[in-house]
Structure 1
Amino acid sequence: MEIGVPKETKDQEFRVGLSPASVRVLTDRGHSVSVETKAGVGSGFSDADYQQAGATIVPEAKDAWNREMVVKVKEPLKSEYQFIRKGQLLFTYLHLAANKTLTEYLINSGADAIAYETVELNRTLPLLMPMSVIAGRLSVQFGARFLERQQGGRGVLLGGIPGVSPGKVTILGGGVVGTEAAKIAVGMGAKVQIFDINVERLSYLETLFGSRVELLYSTSAAIETAVPDADLLIGAVLIPGRNAPTLVNRDLVAKMRPGSVIVDVAVDQGGCIETLHPTSHTQPTYVESGVVHYGVPNMPGAVPWTATQALNNSTLPYVIKLADLGMKALDSDPALAMGLNVSNYQLVHPVVKEVFKDLVARTAEFSMT
């Protein structure tokens, strides 16, 4: 199969869809890989590294996109829509529930789009997990940074010092992101609490953290009590394929102390904090109601050397199957089949279809005419 790897275009997104090591595996199996020049530089991979792995370096994005399968990291931006074509296989993060424009374009293009974040194996999301681990850890790292006075924060050291109380970190969601955030926050010496609606998950977290983390069942009343006292509030809620529910409204944010920080890792699925909207690595924060808001949707892009390799470790087996078998790979791999979001002018993922019922109705009407 002909595989294309374009350079990412999202603001300061330095990850790359395939590492040279992954390219070597694919070329050894007889596949051809075309990599846009300098696509891997941000992750520490030169064009020469890719050439040694058997790839062809192409000068422009259109050359990498003009292939049977395109492997990326982040969703296509509007400048890339022109390259998507009928029958093409696109394998990347999509997060369509928060992006109706892209969803509509993919449907109209006739491409087959498989989203990393909806590939599901034994009720886990294996291609989302490595980036969730990184994003969870970074959420506290960035939160600690923006709590610094020079960054607009309260001037709180999360770990405190003897004689001075540590900062308080409140985490909404006890999944992979929330767990990893708690590990870093506990390591820094902060006071940490996690909210979740799954009692079994809370029990599991107790085996990890013991009494070092306060584990609370998530209710509106409990959240309303905790949020105003938080120095760092982390949104870590994920519902696969759907927008994240709003757990903290505008009025509650206004009750937080000036200079407190909010980091919403769920921002690429709409976010769970009402006042938070997507930002970028170039302009990562803004202040609303006196609170510093951080909403970068591609947080792992800040550590591309680590993130690219972690992502490839998980995606490569699926890339190999798709390269070897094309769309027939979905027939023998139910996990990969769950990743299919758009195919043959149709929105096919059941959860995303629920989000965009109007698009489903429109395409159904079109197919009958």
Structure 2
Amino acid sequence: MRIGVPAEIKSGEFRVGLVPAAVRELCAAGHDVMVQSGAGSRIGFGDAGYLAAGARIAASAAEAWDAELVVKVKEPQAAEFAFLKAEQLLFTYLHLAPDLRQAEALLRAGCIAIAYETVTDGEGRLPLLAPMSAVAGRMAVQAGAHFLEKPHGGRGVLLGGVPGVAPGRVTVLGAGTVGAHAVRIAAGVGAQVTAIDRNIKRLDMLDREYQGRVRTLMAGTAAIEESVCRADLVIGAVLRPGGVAPKLIDRALLKKMQGGAVIVDVAIDQGGCCETSRPTTHADPVFVEEGVVHYCVANMPGAVPLTSTLALGNATLPYILALAGKGWKQALRDDPGFAAGLNACAGQITHPAVAAALGMTCAPRTDVLRA
């Protein structure tokens, strides 16, 4: 199969879809890999390394996109919509639920779009979202601590405190992969941490791991309001796979928060869990609403692109090998969890949560794979 790897063009994005080691595996399996010149150079993967691994170097984005399978990191940007075409496989993060414009572009093109973030494994977990969720969860505390500093608009609170002074309060909304990693870092620096989730098993796991050092609460209006109002830092880590994130913090609750508190809304890729959240960039990461600092960078792991690229590549390579080796229909038929990643195909939305969020009709995946 002919595989294309374009350079990422989203603001502040330095990750790359394939590293040379992965290219070597694909070329050894008989596939033709074409990498856009400079696609990995900003994180130390130069064209020479890709050539040595067996790839061809594409001189332009158009050439890299002219492939049967395009492997990326982030969703296609508006400038890339013209490269999409019928029957082309696109394998990347899509986050379609809050992005009608992108969804319409995929449908117009008639391509086959498989989203990393909705692929599941045998236990219902999200193996291609998990590596970036781990990075984002750990980064959320780091970013929150930075913007809690007074020169950056925050309350002037040190999360770990000092002898004789209480540590800062951190509330984590959601105890999945993002939330668990955020809790780990926040507890590690000595903050007072509260984790809120509606899944008692996740809360039990945190309670056992931290032996009571992390307060765990069942999600509910009263619990969220009380904890958010007291917090110096709130981390939004909720997820509905494929769907829009629930709005857990409305403007009325925001007004009750402490002045200079920080919200890091990791759920912004799916619309955000705070009513006042809107996507920001690494170049301009924060804004203030009702006296509360909002950090809503939509590609947080892009700030540590080398770590993120390597972690993501470890997870995606087996799936890319399956797509290229078997063809997309057989690869998805063989793995129902992989089939859950199919978001759009031949002008139709094929993921129920995405369709519901966009107000569109969902074409059953079984029918698409049978055709």
TM range (shorter): over 0.9
Structure 1 gaps of 5+ residues are 362-369
Instruction: Render the CA deviation track for 1:37-88: whole Å, top value 9, x for unaligned.
Output: 1110222211111111111111111110011000000100100000000010
Length-normalised TM-score, structure 1: 0.96
- Write out the 4+ residue segments of structure 1 that deviate beyond 3 Å after TM superposition: 357-361
Aligned residue for 1:109? 109
Aligned residue for 1:323? 324
How far is the alpha carbon of 1:359 from its aligned partner? 5.5
Aligned residue for 1:118? 118
Contact in 2 for aligned 1:259/1:292 (Cα 8 Å): yes
Q: Does residue 1:35 correspond to 2:35, yes or no?
A: yes
Task: Choose which of 338, 341, 348 in structure 2 pairs with 1:336.
Answer: 338
- 1:223 and 1:340 map into 2 onto residues whose CA distance is 34
Instruction: Render the CA deviation track for 1:79-120: whole Å, top value 9, x for unaligned.
Output: 000000001000000011111111111111110000000101
Aligned residue for 1:72? 72
Aligned residue for 2:97? 97
Q: Which amino acid aligns with 1:199?
A: I
SS at match of 1:321: helix
- 1:335 and 1:347 map into 2 onto residues whose CA distance is 17
Contact in 2 for aligned 1:43/1:308 (Cα 8 Å): no
SS at match of 2:35: strand
SS at match of 2:57: strand
- 1:354 and 1:284 map into 2 onto residues whose CA distance is 30
Contact in 2 for aligned 1:193/1:216 (Cα 8 Å): yes
Instruction: Render the CA deviation track for 1:199-238: whole Å, top value 9, x for unaligned.
Output: 1221121111111100001111111111111100000000
- 2:167 and 2:224 map into 1 onto residues whose CA distance is 20
Q: Which amino acid aligns with 2:240?
A: I
Contact in 1 for aligned 2:351/2:362 (Cα 8 Å): no
Instruction: Render the CA deviation track for 1:154-208: whole Å, top value 9, x for unaligned.
Output: 1111000001111000010011111100000011000000001111221121111
Q: Does residue 1:203 correspond to 2:173, yes or no?
A: no
Q: Which amino acid aligns with 2:61?
A: A
Aligned residue for 2:251? 250
- 2:6 and 2:52 map into 1 onto residues whose CA distance is 18
SS at match of 2:196: strand
Task: Choose which of 354, 357, 361 in structure 1 pairs with 2:356.
Answer: 354
Identity between Structure 1 and Structure 2 (%): 55
Q: Which amino acid aligns with 2:285?
A: P
Contact in 2 for aligned 1:15/1:40 (Cα 8 Å): yes
Q: Which amino acid aligns with 2:356?
A: E
Contact in 2 for aligned 1:104/1:359 (Cα 8 Å): no
Aligned residue for 1:60? 60
SS at match of 2:97: helix
Aligned residue for 1:180? 181
Structure 2 gaps of 5+ residues are 364-371
Aligned residue for 1:150? 151
SS at match of 2:211: helix
Within a 5 Å distance, the mapping from 1:299-310 to structure 2 comes to: 299-310=300-311
Q: Which amino acid aligns with 1:204?
A: M
Contact in 2 for aligned 1:148/1:154 (Cα 8 Å): yes
- 2:98 and 2:309 map into 1 onto residues whose CA distance is 24
Aligned residue for 1:11? 11
Q: Which amino acid aligns with 1:143?
A: G
Instruction: Render the CA deviation track for 1:322-344: whole Å, top value 9, x for unaligned.
Output: 11122121121212111111111
How far is the alpha carbon of 1:357 from its aligned partner? 3.2
Length-normalised TM-score, structure 2: 0.95
Equivalent pairs counted in the alignment come to 361
Q: Does residue 1:23 correspond to 2:23, yes or no?
A: yes
Q: Which amino acid aligns with 1:225?
A: E
How far is the alpha carbon of 1:360 from its aligned partner? 5.1
